[in-house]
């Protein structure tokens, strides 16, 4: 999935009302082929938070070992 496309759809998604979000989500799922729940996470930006927390956990484990 092209990062620029995701960013533009994410901006539209955040600015729209609840009914509009459903239509944007339907279009994004159709265009990307993503699972609906995964697409919601992508549009909300939750995947970045998950990656960040995982890297913190990994750094904590590494620092304990050293």
Question: How many domains, the chain?
Answer: 1
Please give the residue range of the domain that contains residue 30: 3-65
d(CA 17, CA 21): 6
Q: How many residues does the chain have?
A: 66
pLDDT tens digits for range 5-49: 888 889 899 999 999 999 999 999 998 888 999 999 889 986 554
Cβ neighbours of residue 7 closer than 8 Å, sequence gap 6 or more:
none
d(CA 8, CA 42): 12
pLDDT tens digits for range 15-27: 999 999 999 999 9
Residue 58 above 70 pLDDT?
no
The pLDDT, as a whole number, for residue 22 is: 94
């Amino acid at each position: 999935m092209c990062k620029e496309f995701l960013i533009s759809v994410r901006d539209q998604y955040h600015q729209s009302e609840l009914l509009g979000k459903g239509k944007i989500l339907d279009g994004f799922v159709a265009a990307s082929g993503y699972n609906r729940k995964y697409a919601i996470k992508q549009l909300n930006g939750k995947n970045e938070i998950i990656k960040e927390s995982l890297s913190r956990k990994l750094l904590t484990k590494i620092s304990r070992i050293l």
